């Protein structure tokens, strides 16, 4: 069964822009809603937006329970270059990350994190050079990430 896609209404576009601005910043809104990007949505049976497609590819997944988006790797590749380097990032030691990380990012692999991270945030997991390696969901806030030496820091949602 093919998922039905359609253009969002003007009101829905305003909602999308405001949620993305809240979650990732105004720079992310500008990178996603460029004039040359075509935007389509699929819906839950209730009529709420489920997935946002940009140029025909899945970019954002809406979670109606919390009212925020999860990114696909395509969506992250659109947003990541445009947002400030001090935003929602956890840097990891590449060798440790590649060899020991499957679904959970553990504290020994973390080199540093930005100070805007809160528990439950969608985060970009980067290497020491700032290149995107994965997307995750933070399990701890920035202060806790700095303090711990062992334990879980984030859940890995999507890897490159």
CATH architecture of the region 10-79: Roll (3.10)
- The ranges assigned to domains in the chain are 10-79, 89-159
Domain 89-159 is found in CATH 2.30.130.10: yes
Quick check: pTM over 0.85? yes
- Tens-digit pLDDT profile for residues 12-35: 999 999 999 999 999 999 988 887
- Tens-digit pLDDT profile for residues 101-141: 899 999 999 999 999 999 999 999 999 999 999 999 999 99
Q: Cα(142)–Cα(148) distance, rounded to whole angstroms?
A: 10
Q: Cα(51)–Cα(74) distance, rounded to whole angstroms?
A: 13
């Amino acid at each position: 069964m093919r998922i039905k896609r359609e253009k969002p209404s003007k009101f829905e576009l305003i909602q999308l822009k405001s949620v993305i601005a809240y979650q990732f910043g105004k720079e992310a809104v500008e990178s996603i809603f460029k004039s040359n990007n075509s935007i389509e949505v699929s819906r839950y049976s209730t009529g709420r937006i489920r997935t946002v497609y940009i140029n025909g590819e899945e970019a954002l997944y809406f979670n109606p329970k919390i009212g925020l988006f999860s990114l696909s790797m395509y969506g992250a590749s659109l947003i990541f270059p445009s947002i400030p380097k001090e935003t929602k990032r956890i840097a990891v030691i590449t060798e440790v990350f590649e060899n020991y990380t499957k679904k959970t990012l553990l504290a020994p692999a973390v080199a540093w994190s930005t100070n805007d991270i809160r528990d439950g945030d969608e985060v970009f997991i980067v290497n020491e050079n700032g290149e995107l390696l994965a997307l995750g969901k933070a399990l701890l806030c920035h202060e806790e990430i700095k303090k711990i030496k062992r334990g879980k820091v984030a859940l890995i949602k999507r890897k490159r």
